[in-house]
Each structure stands twice: as structure tokens, then as C-alpha cells.
């Protein structure tokens, strides 16, 4: 195994570990329905829909739990960003390869999620957020130039399913 394969394997293993931690954190949360499901499903459709909405409205996750989820999602996106560049043979020689654009989008999403986590956990802005540049422009951004992620209104990346 060469160094590149070792790096790719290590990142893939870290992604799997984060994915597992995320799933376990969601599974560890105990949600007790306000009304038994058998009773809710016996209701007429309009009442069942109202009961479903009331159930969702009563769900209140703690800030620490939500912040931890956002941190995990941020790390997940960061690792995917690194994996995209490392595993692309073309990205090594071509700074305009699509792998760099994909990685930049994922890194911006990771940065946005990290900032959201910091806000949920009551921390000030903890990291400079990478500025989105025109496609193909991969010059680094000094922290003074970096806008807050929430100022960007365009799409950052494709929705990621976990």
C-alpha cells in the first residue's frame, strides 16, 4: 500500500467512525410519544395530522445535543472534502479539476455547520469561514476577507444523506 492509499483509507475509516457516532447519538435519544401510536392511527386522517403536528411541536432537543450533532456533521463534511481531493488523481496536477470545486463546496458547508454549532453552543465565532470564490479560483482566503457563512445565500453543496 502506498502513502496515498493509506491516506485515503485513513480518511474513509474516520468518515465511517463519525457516521457511526452520529447514528448512535441519534439512537441514544429517548423520545416518548405523547399518545400511543395505535391510538393515533385509529384517529380520522384530519385529527391524525393534527396529532402528528402536536407531537412534532412538543419535541424539544437540548442545545448541547443539537450542537454536538452539528459538530459531527461539520467534521463529516470536512473529511469528505479532504477525501475528494486526495482520491482524485487529476486534482494532484490540475488546480482547476472538479475535485477542487467539490472539495471547496464541502469545506464551505463544513465551515457553515461549525459556525452553527458554535452559535447553538453559545460560543463566539470560532473559525474563519472560507469565502466562496468564482468557480476554479482556489486562492487561499485570509481570515479578514472571510464572510460569515450565513451571509451566503446560494447553494453550497448537494444535500447529504446520513
Structural domain contains residue 25: yes
Structural domain contains residue 162: no
Structural domain contains residue 103: yes
Structural domain contains residue 160: no
Structural domain contains residue 157: no
Name the domain count of the chain. 1
Structural domain contains residue 159: no
Query: How far is 107 from 139, CA to CA, in rounded Å?
Result: 14
29: its cell numbers: 435519544
| pLDDT value of position 144 | 43
6: its cell numbers: 493509506
| pLDDT value of position 47 | 93
Domain of residue 94, residue span: 3-151
> For the whole prediction, is pTM greater than 0.85?
no
- The tens-digit pLDDT sequence of the chain (162 residues) is 777 788 888 888 888 888 888 888 777 777 778 888 899 899 999 999 998 888 877 776 777 777 888 888 888 888 888 888 888 877 777 878 888 888 888 888 888 888 888 887 776 555 544 444 445 544 444 444 444 444 434 444 444 444
Structural domain contains residue 161: no
What spatial distance separates the first Cα and last Cα of the chain, rounded to whole Å? 29
Three-state SS string over 2-25 comes to: CHHHHHHHHHHHHHHHHHHHHHHH
| pLDDT value of position 102 | 85
49: its cell numbers: 395530522
Amino acid at each position: 500500500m502506498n502513502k496515498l492509499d493509506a491516506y485515503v483509507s485513513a480518511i474513509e475509516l474516520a468518515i465511517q467512525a463519525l457516521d457511526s457516532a452520529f447514528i448512535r447519538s441519534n439512537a441514544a435519544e429517548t423520545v416518548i410519544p405523547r399518545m400511543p401510536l395505535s391510538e393515533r392511527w385509529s384517529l380520522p386522517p384530519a385529527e391524525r395530522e393534527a396529532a402528528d403536528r402536536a407531537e412534532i411541536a412538543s419535541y424539544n432537543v437540548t442545545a448541547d445535543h443539537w450542537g454536538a450533532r452539528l459538530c459531527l456533521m461539520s467534521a463529516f463534511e470536512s473529511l469528505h472534502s479532504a477525501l475528494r481531493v486526495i482520491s482524485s488523481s487529476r486534482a494532484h496536477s490540475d488546480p482547476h479539476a472538479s475535485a477542487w470545486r467539490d472539495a471547496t463546496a464541502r469545506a464551505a458547508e463544513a465551515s457553515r455547520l461549525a459556525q452553527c454549532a458554535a452559535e447553538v453552543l453559545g460560543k463566539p465565532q470560532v473559525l474563519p469561514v472560507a469565502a466562496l470564490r468564482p468557480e476554479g479560483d482556489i486562492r487561499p482566503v485570509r481570515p479578514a476577507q472571510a464572510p460569515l457563512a450565513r451571509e451566503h445565500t446560494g447553494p453550497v453543496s448537494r444535500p447529504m444523506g446520513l
